[in-house]
């Protein structure tokens, strides 16, 4: 009984902890409830829940994870679908205590439904504005994503689209994400597009893998790094890569459950969060794909605390420092910092309370 009360009290702390989410793929963040609504709309696809999520204790290869996304893309192929999905995802993050969210997604066109890439981005912006008008307590921005599998020409088109929306969206489109299967293509072919994005004022968040292109892409340099699973020497990276990241003070977006379930790290205890955290390097806990990996940001913070013995005071500080890494302007950072001050519990309630179990 006592353990149960303690657990519930811990759950409340993490749920109420104000949080920043900087690495959330829209389609991967779709919850089982929203998937159910999509499945009902499209019974002819014969899609089941088990095809769209990776449950507790399950693991998948990176290739199998990408297959899950293909199934979700089949369910989300109209502006109406995108509006519902984006609205639901934003509201779920808000309900989980997320105060600032950067969503990312690759613009897609579907000739069968008349969906265009421009319409895709416009609909996500519409969803962001709709949630704001409905009074959701969350500031949402959008990163237009380049899927590296689509090649150099499409990458440049995506940058031009992102430029257009950076100027026309009233500050909602703030940057560019590079993602997709890391085994396809080479980063050097995408450099012209990424350089153009940087030159026009778009912020860059790049998924970096274990391949030799990491060194090349770090020379840009990016404004943030997604995952960075293989950067440090203990896991096949190099000290020179670490030095570049540290020298440029490039924050890392770290996604514990995603990396464990996707088998890019062997276990939670061996996650590279500890390496960067011990260095005192800017590290932001994120979900990656909360729907696919059956998690939320509260759970990810709780996992980090229990795995690495963080006190609640340390957890609060980790959450607060994430504000420094957002792509929105300084005025937004100042507003968020004030919000954290207003929401901070009394010092004695979060002091030296170390989590030992989730």
Q: How many CB atoms lie within 10 A of CB 311?
A: 15
Q: Are 200 and 207 in contact, with CB atoms under 8 Å apart?
A: no
358, with CB counted inside 10 A (0-12, 13-18, 19+), is: middle
Distance CA 188, CA 191 (A): 5
Distance CA 263, CA 226 (A): 16
- DSSP β-bridge partners for residue 175: 143, 203
Residue 201 in 3-state DSSP?
coil
32, with CB counted inside 10 A (0-12, 13-18, 19+), is: exposed
Cα angle vertex 42, ends 36, 43, to 5°? Answer: 85
Which helix (H) or strand (E) segment is 294 a member of?
none
Residues annotated as catalytic are: 210
Cβ neighbors of 54 (< 8 A, separation 6 or more) are 60, 65, 68, 261, 292, 293, 294
Indicate the length of the chain as a whole number: 358
CA distances to 44, 151, 201, 307, 315 from 15, in Å = 38, 40, 34, 18, 12
């Amino acid at each position: 009984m006592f353990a149960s009360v303690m657990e519930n009290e811990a759950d409340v702390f993490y749920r109420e902890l104000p949080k920043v989410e900087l690495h959330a793929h829209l389609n991967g963040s779709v919850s089982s409830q929203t998937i159910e609504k999509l499945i009902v709309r499209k019974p002819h696809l014969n899609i089941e829940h088990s095809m769209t999520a990776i449950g507790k204790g399950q693991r998948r290869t990176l290739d199998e994870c990408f297959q899950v996304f293909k199934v979700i893309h089949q369910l989300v192929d109209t502006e109406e679908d995108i509006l519902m999905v984006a609205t639901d995802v934003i509201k779920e993050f808000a309900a989980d205590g997320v105060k600032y969210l950067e969503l990312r997604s690759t613009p897609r066109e579907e000739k069968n439904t008349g969906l265009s890439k421009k319409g895709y981005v416009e609909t996500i912006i519409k969803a962001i504005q709709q949630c704001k008008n409905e009074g959701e307590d969350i500031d949402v921005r959008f990163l237009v994503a380049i899927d590296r599998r689509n090649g150099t020409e499409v990458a440049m088109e995506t940058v031009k689209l992102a430029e257009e929306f950076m100027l026309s969206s009233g500050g909602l489109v703030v940057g560019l994400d590079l993602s997709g299967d890391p085994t396809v293509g080479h980063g050097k072919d995408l450099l012209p597009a990424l350089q153009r994005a940087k030159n026009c004022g778009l912020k860059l968040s790049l998924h970096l893998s274990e391949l030799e292109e990491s060194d090349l892409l770090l020379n840009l340099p990016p404004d943030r790094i997604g995952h960075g699973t293989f950067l440090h020497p203990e896991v096949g990276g190099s000290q020179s890569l670490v030095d570049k990241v540290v020298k440029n003070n490039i924050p890392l977006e770290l996604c514990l459950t995603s990396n464990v379930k996707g088998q890019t790290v062997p276990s939670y205890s061996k996650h590279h969060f500890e390496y960067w955290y011990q260095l005192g390097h800017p590290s932001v806990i994120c979900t990656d794909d909360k729907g696919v990996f059956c998690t939320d940001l509260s759970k990810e913070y709780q996992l980090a605390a229990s795995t690495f013995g963080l006190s609640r005071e340390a957890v609060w500080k980790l959450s607060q420092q994430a504000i420094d890494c957002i792509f929105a302007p300084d005025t937004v950072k100042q507003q968020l910092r004030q919000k954290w001050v207003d929401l901070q519990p009394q010092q004695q309630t979060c002091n030296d309370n170390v989590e030992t179990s989730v």
